[in-house]
Amino acid sequence: MKRILIILLAMVAFQLNAQDLNLYKKVVKELSSPKYKGRGYAFDGANKAGKYLEKEFQKAGVDEVVCQPFKLNINTFPGKMQLLVDGKKLVPGEDFTMREFSPGVKGEYKLYYIDTLNYNSEKIFADLARPENKDAFVVCDFWFTYKHSADFKRLQSKAGCSNAGLIYTWNEPLKFYKAYGERVIEKPMIWVTASSFPTNAKSVKMNIENEFLQDNECFNVIAKVEGKRHDKCYLFTAHYDHLGVLGKKVFFAGAHDNASGTATIVTLAAHYAKNRPEYDMYFVAFSGEDANLRGSEWYANNPSAPLQQVRYLINLDMIADNNPVQYCEVSDPGMKGYELFEKINSQKGYFKSLNRGKLAGNSDHYPFAQRGVPCIFLMNDDGDAYKYYHTIHDTWENALFDNYEPIFKIVVDFIEQY
């Protein structure tokens, strides 16, 4: 009889885990689908994803779901996205991307290549002042520009130089960012793959449209599971927004970043809705993370419960990978909790090890760490999926599910023991 009971309990545990994984996969697949346009701000992609999450939290059986509105300014590229070099058409997302703060541009332009081996800034600016180079696009290796940042900053302004814009070459895979998209600079700035852009091209033809969204309305999605006690609480956080689009056809799916973390907090909410916790729990899906942590910063200033009541915050960002070493960052007040995470991991072997990095403003835990909240940031990087980070290839098809169960279990074990 005892053996039968053990088998039945094991079957129930397996079914619960399988159901968690099924829900996790369903949410990741949905959020990374084309209907949300990369969960950016053009075409209202992020807000549509937020409404989907509101319904998923409700289905999970939580006690309350609230959408917390805030506004941000953000530059987007929802229109034409065409670039030809010497008549050869380049592919958005594959061969070229825009810097997030770039204006649009239309026309045909000569090219001026920076001589990086015999760099002479005085000669460059003298060359660009000549009539034959008026309105040229300056071409240079992106990493080289760091060595001469003052010169290249001058090239970005109309007062500094008469060039029409800048093209920076980059090794593959090509990245796209939104962090500094709250403004638009004076000249267009484009990243191209070094392999797709010839070193002796004569001209480029462009038709690229941007749209700057002023006071764009966004919202965080906050789900609550009431505990037996209300004097303290836990926060589980993840951002659901992503990079959006490059033109009308190309979008950044963001399966790993961060449909994966968002899906995990949905499954955690479902778990605790069925297993009433000791303390109140908040599951917060942030918007605006890829726009420089705007949603988490807003929530940190307008929390559901006073931040002094937070026993621990767990931020999940990019966990759809297969690295057996789990990266994390920890606030100073969170070190006691980190020691417990390490103890649990050494006992259960969920990961080969935990790799604690320096605390940085790279995800939504940071505004809370700055305010003295005990917190940890869990991110699985440097696996086989990480190479697709901030590229158009971070898709459902390239997402990996190896680390969902270890993440889920170590978090649940932590809450049980903390």
Per-residue pLDDT at 269? 98
Residue ranges covered by each domain of the chain: 22-74+214-417, 81-208
For residue 260 the two structure tokens come to 């994966």
CATH topology for 81-208 is: Glucose Oxidase; domain 1 (3.50.30)
Per-residue pLDDT at 172? 82
Helix H or strand E segment including 71: strand 64-76
CB-CB contact of 188 with 165 (8 Å):
yes
The CATH number of domain 22-74+214-417, selected from 3.40.50.720, 3.40.190.10, 3.40.50.920, 3.40.630.10: 3.40.630.10
Per-residue pLDDT at 3? 52
Residue environment code for 318-332, b if the CB has 16+ CB neighbours within 10 A, otherwise e:
bbbbebeebbbbbbe
For residue 216 the two structure tokens come to 């764009």
One pLDDT digit (tens) per residue for the chain, 418 residues: 445 444 444 444 444 455 699 999 999 999 999 999 999 999 999 999 999 999 999 999 999 999 999 999 999 999 999 999 999 999 999 999 999 999 999 999 999 999 999 999 999 999 999 999 989 999 999 999 999 999 999 999 999 999 999 999 998 889 999 999 999 999 999 999 999 999 999 999 999 999 999 999 999 999 999 999 999 999 999 999 999 999 999 999 999 999 999 999 999 999 999 999 999 999 999 999 999 999 999 999 999 999 999 999 999 999 999 999 999 999 999 999 999 999 999 999 999 999 999 999 999 999 999 999 999 999 999 999 999 999 999 999 999 999 999 999 999 999 999 9
- Give the separation between CA 330 and CA 376, rounded to whole angstroms: 5
φ/ψ of 135, rounded to 5, equals 65, 30
* pTM greater than 0.85: yes
Q: Who's near 75: CB < 8 A, 6+ residues apart?
A: 100, 101, 102, 181, 182, 183, 184, 210, 211, 212, 213
- Give the separation between CA 91 and CA 71, rounded to whole angstroms: 32
Q: Is 324 strand, coil or helix?
A: coil
Per-residue pLDDT at 18? 56
CB-CB contact of 377 with 329 (8 Å):
yes
CA dist 321 → 259, 317, 381 (Å): 12, 11, 7
CB-CB contact of 286 with 237 (8 Å):
yes
Per-residue pLDDT at 212? 98
Q: Is 264 strand, coil or helix?
A: helix
